[in-house]
Structure 1
Amino acid sequence: MVGKKGGSKGMGAAEDAEEELARTPLQAIILADSFTTKFRPITLERPKVLLPLVNAPMIDYTLAWLESAGVEEVFVFCCAHSKQVMDYLDKSNWFGQPNFSVTTIESHNAISAGDALRLIYEQHVIRGDFILVSGDTVSNMSLSQALKEHKERRRKDSNAVMTMVIKQSKASPVTRQSRLGTEELFMVIDPETKQLLYYEDRGDNLKGYLSLDKALLTYNTSISLQNDKQDCYIDICSPEVLSLFTDNFDYQHLRRDFVKGLLVDDIMGYKIYSHEIHSSYAARIDNYRSYHTISKDIIQRWTYPLVPDVQFFGNSATKLERQGMYRAPEIKQSSSSKIGPFTVIGSGTSIGNNTEISNSVVGEGCSIGSNVTIENCYIWHNVTIEDGCKLKHSIVCDGVTMKSGAALEPGVVLSFKVVIGRNFLVPAYSKVSLHQQPIKQDSDEELEYADNSSGITESPSVSGTSDLLNEEERTELPDSQEYEVGDGGVGFIWLVSEAGQEEEWRHSVAPIPVDKLVEIMQISNDETDLPNEDGAFLPPSGELGPDSITNDSNEDAEDIRDDSVIFEREVEATFQRAVEEDVTDDHVILEVNSLRLSYNMASADCAGALFYSVMKLALDAPHDSPNELYKNVVSTVRKWKKLLKYYLSSIDEEIEVILKFEEMCLESAREYSPLFVQILHHLYDQDIIQEEAILDWASEKEGAEESDKIFVKQSEKFIQWLKEASEEEDED
């Protein structure tokens, strides 16, 4: 069934086929169904695309990006809970926008992305190249360059049917897994044409060798084996993609079936290409962990202009305050409560005495009592949290009530209208729902349907949907069912099988346990620098070709510089997450060491990048004078002293830190310039920088230009004092 809203765009009479194609509006298909069960039990009651992401439904981000990128016609394919999606869009502001039409296509029978695309093909609504995304995509990339490349290839070769958007992500498997919970991805790409030649996501199977067909080397003069890219799941497709799904009914999954199928098909000769983005943002919410990470990225404005204070949220009155804190209007907050950095508070929410909220998102109409602690949580709308509750690294859905003294351990998910009893402790990684846990385990390709309207789900059904159950239906649960969530509680705790425990910590909003990080790190280390058949080592890029033995070109030098910049950004992002999530030093060291291996960096590079991150944290903290800024530095260095000293095992590394501080004072953090000597002296007093490093740094500057001696001259008295103290020691 097709339901269209918004202005239709009539096509004028075309003089020829090429002119008609040029006039075809840019179209997009949004799959508003994940076709997986990763967000259960939440998605038994509400479709994933309508789940709030920093207090706005996920699909709003996708639609806002497509509109800004120049898409004119969008077809939203709805299946599971289709009525909810269609009702939401019908009442939203997306219908009736100028030069932007939204059409819904409904189905009750599709159980995969392949089924969805076959049904869309039968509607004959796609008239040219189109953008294919899911309704959980967040991006701010421009489509113009990728579209241009795609159309140019199409003009030269009609078999170039798809362009996949990928993103540089040189972080190691450890860092990527701790951020997004994604599977390890291997791709082989022609470095000249950017044609995709091989694609494999390996899940947890990190061990073992990658087996490539010899034909890849036989028929390609040069190939690049890449393990440092992130699949953005944004595809630019020709109309042939839809017909290919129609001709091949075994194509169900977009990557495992369609992409891999075309790559091994030697008869038809269809080709897939890649388009890599660097500075833009693009990511898909695939599991709870990526939900957590992308939420943080939105709050920290990596997704600008899709940030909490933009218009499409419907709450443009939300104000950005210092340290990434956002407040909507009409909030009732006790003067004794504390709202920490990187926190969003929705309108109509009340917060009681001595309550502390940090690094969290709180929705609209919530009632939070006194002496409550909320850290790294996602509290949706109309939630009631009574006095004395403690929540950490959890998701709390609409209408939940937590009675006084209740607590959530990390990784908990409370589904809609659950009630947690007084003083009840919900165990880590638990999922609590008014639905009973399905008896049968489903494949990850099943729809996220509720089975019936009784409020109890024994097994999912693909024959019908169940919208969010109303209050009357919820109270008709059989008396024989026992609730498991404490005195006065209402809800069932879903059990995690032994086999599923690893998936829980990989995909949870809670940090990955340190012992698991150590395990992954060990696997990663074992596979570093594997030799090829001739006993030689592959270059870091993984690129093989006639010219791969040379690495002294200017281009290579630029790559090294680029790697250094990206490495510093990755370290900064890792440190920032450690601050937000209260991660231990050992945890940070594991991740930084993993990045160091991935980028082939030295310990001095780690020291410089971490020092920059620590000093930036102090700079971002509130201060109104140089004296207050210095106090910020003192407290921040004290807290992270152990982490800094870990990478300062030699004088060279300490000198690197001084040079990094000079660079900050001259470029990115000029507020530190008048405090250079004072802070250097403090680092010396704290045994972070030794006397020898400071004297060697000053000695190396003797032959430098005057412009490079600014901070040495500022430090003359301090340096002279160190020299005299050193001479006295020698005399003694």
Structure 2
Amino acid sequence: MAPKKREDLKQEDVLQAVVIADSFNVRFCPITEKKPRVLLPVANIPMLDYTLEFLSSSGVQEIFVFCSHLSDQIRTHIRNSKWNESSSSCVVTPVLSEGCRSMGDALREIDAKSLIRSDFVLIYGDTLANIKLQNIVEEHKKRREKDKNSLMTMVFKKAPPGHHTRCKEEEVVMAVENTTNRVVHYRKIGNQKRLEFPVEVLLDHQDVDIRYDLLDCQISICSPQVPQIFTDDFDYQTRDDFVKGILINEEIMGNTIYVNVVKNEYAARISNLQMYDAISKDIISRWVFPLTPDSNINNRENSLSCGRHNVYLSKDVTLARGCILEENVIVGGGSSIGSNTVISQSVIGNNCKIGENVKIMGSYIWNDAVIEDNTVITKAILCDSVHLYKGTTVQPGSVLSWNVKVGPDITLPECVKLTSEPIDDGFGDDLPEADQVTETSPDFGSRGKAYIFKAASDSDDEEELELVHDMWGLNIQSEDEDDISSIASNETDDLSDGSLPPDDYRMFYSEVIDTLRRAREENISTDNMILEVNSLK
């Protein structure tokens, strides 16, 4: 039977979704060198499939998967998946647009193609959740019937600071009206230790909660006007830009944004390696039920069965006598494990060969890897076709890309990032470069084939640098970062002591202080005060 066409679902009440597939995958690609996988495996299942399964089970009938990088992989995967079968409950359509670098660009392209007809779900392709989305969508629609200016409902999960699924890059503080859940203040704070909160928020609203106990699920229910607003304002590149812009112009435009807080369900986004590790362990531990490894999402060939202590095995796994699979372990199809090998809190991909007396703890081994005897791997990622010769030790925080060979009888330093070939300049002029290492380098063994991945110090992508310097949440900082932090700290200390910058900066500072005092005495509006301060520049 032929697959369903999107034209068959052109009813106004069809629930649509836009999935931004270029997210963590793209940031991870430079590390996995010039032939990367955009469909990164999470617990032996492509990351994108978890997002599609969540949307399908939530009643979404039409899904647009937006991609600009390695789109051929996504299109081929969808074409060969259950989402393209006639029995599928939803229609999944890849949307390709080269050159898009942000969510804002993606939504502008979606608006240009006129794909959105009604309220839709906006989500990243590396988000995993088991939320009952239907209830949130219905609440959003009822709110829009009363208030046509309600643009978006953001989904957050209650999670205390320090929770393992809270990403420090996505920390936010919000002020929310207690009775309506309308967002009146929103700020992304990241790693800031001090926060200035506007007093006007408390003065202008009688019943408001200041929330710092929320995890951003990166799921939003949007009105059809949202893509149009992104098109009208090219300054909006991210959802955070959009939210802040709407709140700033709320009095003028009248548009509003709301929040829905879930408590018992699971939702989190894989935005760096630390989150990749945390969410993978949650899936294996069945915290994201029914999204579990043995649910065999879109994976009919290598189905997994679950045993005691959350040990998942494919049907054609070979286990030698004396090997120990302790707990929270996945072993993919065609893989073999030698005697006296101990594996815990780890994922082994398909067709891997693991020798004798090997110890693997908290690590992720992708497909076709060869791990020889007496090897130790701790909290690391080994991509496809990595070969570790006997006696090799891989220490925490390490990432070994495709086809890397290391050993024998060597110990890699912590947080090392290795590729098998130099990164090609054709991938992009602004991407990180690699320092070449000879194949016979003693650092990687007499049979080693590896190049050190090194991020360019002048990279404009702060998130990419953060990914490199904070692998697995180990807070590894470069000397340059320490110097910058020290300089920033000294400048802050100087200003806090009352000392002022010389010459023009001193004059500007003095005039701003006088303007603020006069605004307070004469009760000048905030907008007029902002204009005066900007004119002083």
TM-score, with structure 2 as normaliser? 0.80
Q: CA offsets, 1:142-191, max 9 Å, x none?
A: 11211111011101111101000000012x3xx23686444432111111
Structure 2 residue identity aligned to 1:452: G
C-alpha change, 1:331 and 1:114, in structure 2 (3 Å) is same
Q: CA offsets, 1:324-361, max 9 Å, x none?
A: 11111111111111111111111110111211111101
C-alpha change, 1:225 and 1:47, in structure 2 (3 Å) is farther
The one of 364, 369, 389 aligned to 1:383: 369
C-alpha change, 1:129 and 1:336, in structure 2 (3 Å) is same
CA distance, structure 2, for counterparts of residue 178 and residue 141 of structure 1: 15
1:111-510 equivalence runs, <5 A: 111-170=101-160, 172=161, 175-176=162-163, 180-206=167-193, 208-214=194-200, 216-255=201-240, 257-265=241-249, 266-315=251-300, 317-436=303-422, 451-452=425-426, 459-460=430-431, 485-495=444-454, 503=466, 507-509=470-472
Structure 1 residue identity aligned to 2:404: V
**Is the 8 Å Cα contact of residues 35 and 111 (structure 1) preserved in structure 2?**
no
Structure 2 residue identity aligned to 1:158: K
**Is the 8 Å Cα contact of residues 330 and 348 (structure 1) preserved in structure 2?**
yes
Q: CA offsets, 1:609-634, max 9 Å, x none?
A: xxxxxxxxxxxxxxxxxxxxxxxxxx
1:685-724 equivalence runs, <5 A: none
Counterpart position of 1:10: 8
CA distance, structure 2, for counterparts of residue 98 and residue 304 of structure 1: 21
Deviation at 1:507, TM superposition (A): 4.2
**Is the 8 Å Cα contact of residues 49 and 135 (structure 1) preserved in structure 2?**
no
CA distance, structure 1, for counterparts of residue 172 and residue 80 of structure 2: 39
Structure 1 residue identity aligned to 2:267: A
**Greater helix proportion:** 1
Q: Secondary structure at the match of 1:364?
A: coil
Unpaired runs of at least 5, structure 1: 13-19, 438-449, 462-476, 514-732
CA distance, structure 1, for counterparts of residue 69 and residue 3 of structure 2: 20
1:95 aligns with 2:84: yes
Deviation at 1:418, TM superposition (A): 1.0
Deviation at 1:139, TM superposition (A): 0.6
CA distance, structure 1, for counterparts of residue 100 and residue 252 of structure 2: 29
C-alpha change, 1:509 and 1:405, in structure 2 (3 Å) is same
Structure 2 residue identity aligned to 1:167: K
**Greater strand proportion:** 2
Counterpart position of 1:25: 14
CA distance, structure 1, for counterparts of residue 391 and residue 23 of structure 2: 36
CA distance, structure 1, for counterparts of residue 326 and residue 353 of structure 2: 18
**Is the 8 Å Cα contact of residues 181 and 507 (structure 1) preserved in structure 2?**
no
CA distance, structure 1, for counterparts of residue 268 and residue 176 of structure 2: 21
C-alpha change, 1:176 and 1:11, in structure 2 (3 Å) is closer
Aligned positions, number: 465
Deviation at 1:409, TM superposition (A): 0.7
**Is the 8 Å Cα contact of residues 392 and 407 (structure 2) preserved in structure 1?**
yes
C-alpha change, 1:482 and 1:112, in structure 2 (3 Å) is farther
**Is the 8 Å Cα contact of residues 34 and 48 (structure 1) preserved in structure 2?**
no
**Is the 8 Å Cα contact of residues 505 and 512 (structure 1) preserved in structure 2?**
no
TM-score, with structure 1 as normaliser? 0.60
1:663-702 equivalence runs, <5 A: none
Q: Secondary structure at the match of 1:289?
A: helix
Q: Secondary structure at the match of 1:50?
A: coil
Structure of greater Rg? 1
Q: CA offsets, 1:652-695, max 9 Å, x none?
A: xxxxxxxxxxxxxxxxxxxxxxxxxxxxxxxxxxxxxxxxxxxx
Unpaired runs of at least 5, structure 2: 477-537
Q: Secondary structure at the match of 1:94?
A: helix
C-alpha change, 1:44 and 1:161, in structure 2 (3 Å) is farther
CA distance, structure 1, for counterparts of residue 233 and residue 214 of structure 2: 29
1:506-517 equivalence runs, <5 A: 507-509=470-472
C-alpha change, 1:303 and 1:90, in structure 2 (3 Å) is same
C-alpha change, 1:158 and 1:328, in structure 2 (3 Å) is same
Structure 2 residue identity aligned to 1:407: T
CA distance, structure 2, for counterparts of residue 111 and residue 367 of structure 1: 38
CA distance, structure 1, for counterparts of residue 294 and residue 263 of structure 2: 25
Deviation at 1:511, TM superposition (A): 5.8
